[in-house]
Amino acid sequence: MSELKAFTSANHPTRRWRRIKDRLIETVLFLAAASSVLVTIGIVYILVSESLPFFSHVSLVEFLTEREWTPMFSDAKFGIRPLIAGTFMATFIAVCVAIPLGTIVSAYLSEYVRPSMREALKPILELLAAVPSVVYGYFALLFVTPLLQKLMPELGGFSVLSAGIVMGIMIIPYVSSLSEDAMRSVPTHLREASAALGSTKFQTTLRVVIPSAFSGITSAYVLGISRALGETMVVAIAAGMQPNLTLDPTEPAATITAFIVQVSLGDLPHGSIGYQSIYVAGLTLLFITLVFNIVGMWIRSRVQEKE
Amino acid sequence: MSPQFEIPATSTTKFNLGHQTEFLRSQVKSLSFSYNPKDKVILKNVSLPIFDKKVTALIGPSGCGKTTLLRCFNRMHDLYNEVSYDGEILLYPESKNILSRDVDPMEVRMRIGMVFQKPNPFPKTIYENVAYGLRVRGIKKKSYMDEKIELSLQHAGLWSEVKDRLHAQATSLSGGQQQRLCIARALVTDPEILLLDEPTSALDPISTSHIEELIVELKKDVTILIVTHNLHQAARCSDYTAFMYLGDLIEYGPSNQIFTNPSDKRTENYITGRFG
């Protein structure tokens, strides 16, 4: 009893040690959390600092308005537009494939399939995400492109279309897995309320489950888009790596990522303008991804406000 | 079951109960139910008349099967399992067995509305919540919808409180208002029977008395079947009461008889609070 009393006093050594331990754990947790933030800040810092000298050679106006991107040529031109066009085109095609298919798959898995069947199907679907992207690249180049050529005989060996479609297939699991989680977390009592009013399963899914899960589904779409924007191997292999200011998906083109991988493979002298252009391209990509994430966050917050 | 409520095996749906005449709206005929053939039986050979434009209360201790019985009426169990019903629930006037395999549960739910234990409005506006039942029936005409929605909100006693904010989110309403919204949502499609599954158990006393007044008001137009744990509520709002215990229907009769002069010892023990 007296020992217990002593323990309740704030100066008891065990109590002091407990306080210190608690502080220590908090510090360790803080450092772990801070490391990821610090790494992000470090990446942004390096991208910006390595990009700045580039803009002393090339003006921002030229960078944004020039129609060609040929940093490796003797007559070097630095217009980012062809790379941005390639990136957006590939991403757009991928999203056109991944969002409808991913949403359908997630609605099917969440609302229609029996639990035992779902447990069997999910790992198979997630296997799609486990296939290395270089395999997808060759799948696009050696399987999908010839297939498309049967439909469109004039299609060349490299095209954004083929790369975009395969990239879309690749990101289906990212979209469907998150969407399915969002749909399954819609409370059962809402489904029952809908069913009790005489709706079919499809009406319940379309009118109640998907709108209720909209916030989570948006996150899934944003993740899918970010993944498509940053994807490298498929476009580097199947889309041709030729910076090309066009919006025709049947032509070859290069994305920002494809340019980076192409140039990084060569031996560039440190500090040369070609070397700096990698950082500038990286910074541009980071900026685009950031904008998409902010838009996604904005949509989500608007939906949550309404709820 | 007291003898005068034995349902004769004729096709008539009209009953002379001495003091008054009742019409059958529905009838449960020797219904047995279990979720799974291997599972224990939840309902054992239950038979029960549901009279038209009357409130029938199902009472009994937890686990007695009253909610299970209620959810048979709109085939809610079909959402989850391959269940098989043994027995019949006939719906009049055409005396159709709504538990039959050939009957689409969706058809049954089109005719029988339900209000749940916890208020469960959709995360939509007040207007869209009530409109839901009309929309899933393919109704698009705006003027007709507006009229029906106003009418059912009035029926549910909510119109005066929400008429200026029909396009506000339903979740901005209080719990009691949400429950009345759910009643309006169920009423908009003119159900023949309204199932209420402990509709006030999540509400405060004032909202509860609102809903109880509403139930008495609603039975002018619709047949009501209510599950409740609140015996005072059953005594106050219902015309007929069925007492269930461990899956058996122990006693059924006019509510005043069940609550003042029950014929079964178990009913008496339950309503006097000796168990349950």
Give per-residue pLDDT as tens, A118-155: 999 989 988 888 899 999 999 999 999 999 999 988 88
Chain B positions contacting chain A at CB under 8 Å are 74, 76, 79, 106-107, 109-110, 113-114, 116, 118, 120-124, 132-133, 135-137, 169, 171, 182, 185-186, 189
* Facing residue for B122 by CB, picked from A190, A198, A200: A190
Residue B240 tokens read as: 């007929």
Question: How many domains does one find in chain A?
Answer: 2
Rounded Cα distance, B254 and B239, in Å: 6
A240 located within any domain: yes
A203–B136 C-beta distance less than 8 A: yes
A193–B120 C-beta distance less than 8 A: yes
A106 located within any domain: yes
Report ipTM for this prediction. 0.89
Nearest Cα neighbor of B99 from B43, B156, B15 is B43
- Residue-number span of the structural domain to which B144 is assigned: 3-271
Compute the nearest-CA separation of A301 from chain B (Å).
15
List the Cα angle B155/B158/B162 in 5-degree steps: 135
Residues B20-47 have a mean pLDDT of 87
Question: What is residue B8's predicted lDDT score, i.e. its pLDDT?
Answer: 47
Question: What is residue A57's predicted lDDT score, i.e. its pLDDT?
Answer: 86
Computed from CA positions of residues A167, A170, A171, A172, in that sequence, does the dihedral angle turn out positive or negative?
positive
* Same domain flag for A190 and A271: yes
Contacting residues of B for A197, CB less than 8 Å apart: 109, 113, 132-133, 136, 185-186, 189
| Last residue of one domain, picked from the residues A55, A72, A90 | A55
In a 10 Å sphere around its CB, with 0-12 CB exposed, 13-18 middle and 19+ buried, how is residue B10 labelled? exposed
Rounded Cα distance, B47 and B251, in Å: 10
Confidence of residue B9 (pLDDT cuts 50, 70, 90): very low
Pair B109, B74: CB distance under 8 Å: yes
B136–A200 C-beta distance less than 8 A: yes
Residue A114 CB: number of other CB atoms within 10 A?
Answer: 8
Question: What is residue B4's predicted lDDT score, i.e. its pLDDT?
Answer: 42
Contacting residues of B for A193, CB less than 8 Å apart: 116, 120-122, 182, 185
Question: How many domains does one find in chain B?
Answer: 1
Residue type, B20: Q
CATH code at B65? 3.40.50.300
Question: What is residue B12's predicted lDDT score, i.e. its pLDDT?
Answer: 59
B185–A193 C-beta distance less than 8 A: yes
* DSSP reduced 3-state for A240: strand
* Same domain flag for A220 and A157: yes
B122–A187 C-beta distance less than 8 A: no
A61 located within any domain: no
Residue A93 has pLDDT above 50, yes or no: yes
Compute the nearest-CA separation of A303 from chain B (Å).
10
Compute the nearest-CA separation of A111 from chain B (Å).
11
Question: What is residue B193's predicted lDDT score, i.e. its pLDDT?
Answer: 94
pTM exceeding 0.90? no
* Same domain flag for A225 and A89: yes
* DSSP reduced 3-state for A69: strand
Mutate to test the interface with A, among B116, B136, B197 (most CBs of A within 10 A): B136
- Residue-number span of the structural domain to which A41 is assigned: 2-55
Which residue pairs from A302-306 have beta carbons closer than 8 angstroms and sit at least 24 positions apart in sequence?
A303/A214, A303/A215, A303/A218, A304/A215, A306/B169
* DSSP reduced 3-state for A253: strand
Contacting residues of A for B123, CB less than 8 Å apart: 190, 211-212, 307
A306–B106 C-beta distance less than 8 A: no
Q: What is the 3-state secondary structure (H, E, C) of chain B?
A: CCHHHCCCCCCCCEEECCCCEEEEEEEEEEEEEECCCCCCCCEEEEEEEEECCCEEEEECCCCCCHHHHHHHHCCHHHHCCCCEEEEEEEECCCCEECCCCCCCHHHHHHHEEEECCCCCCCCCEHHHHHHHHHHCCCCCCHHHHHHHHHHHHHHCCCHHHHCCCCCCEHHHCCHHHHHHHHHHHHHCCCCCEEEEECCCCCCCHHHHHHHHHHHHHHCCCCEEEEECCCHHHHHHHCCEEEEEECCEEEEEEEHHHHHHCCCCHHHHHHHCCCCC
Which residue of chain B is at minimal alpha-carbon distance from A304?
B123
pLDDT in tens, A218-269: 999 999 999 999 988 899 888 888 888 888 888 888 999 999 988 888 777 8
A124 located within any domain: yes
* Same domain flag for A22 and A98: no
Alpha carbon of A136 to those of A103, A142, A150, A232: distances in Å?
A: 21, 10, 20, 11
B124–A211 C-beta distance less than 8 A: yes
Residues A71-96 have a mean pLDDT of 90
Contacting residues of B for A207, CB less than 8 Å apart: 132, 135-136
CATH code at A268? 1.10.3720.10
Residue B3 has pLDDT above 50, yes or no: no
Share of chain B above pLDDT 90, in %: 71
Query: What phi and psi, each to the nearest 5 degrees, are found at residue B243?
Result: -100, 125
Q: How many CA atoms lie within 13 A of A151 on its CB side?
A: 7
In a 10 Å sphere around its CB, with 0-12 CB exposed, 13-18 middle and 19+ buried, how is residue A150 labelled? exposed
How many A-B residue pairs are in contact by the CB < 8 A criterion? 66
* Same domain flag for A30 and A176: no
B276 located within any domain: no
Computed from CA positions of residues B252, B254, B259, B261, in that sequence, does the dihedral angle turn out positive or negative?
negative
DSSP letter (8 states) at residue A12: -
* Same domain flag for A88 and A49: no
Rounded Cα distance, B263 and A134, in Å: 80
A187–B120 C-beta distance less than 8 A: yes
A60 located within any domain: no
The DSSP line for A278-298 is HHHHHHHHHHHHHHHHHHHHH
* Same domain flag for A102 and A40: no
Query: What phi and psi, each to the nearest 5 degrees, are found at residue A207?
Result: -95, -25
Chain A positions contacting chain B at CB under 8 Å are 187, 189-200, 203, 207-208, 211-212, 306-307
Confidence of residue B2 (pLDDT cuts 50, 70, 90): very low
Residue B84 CB: number of other CB atoms within 10 A?
Answer: 14
pLDDT in tens, A184-222: 999 999 999 999 999 999 999 999 999 999 989 999 999
B79–A192 C-beta distance less than 8 A: yes
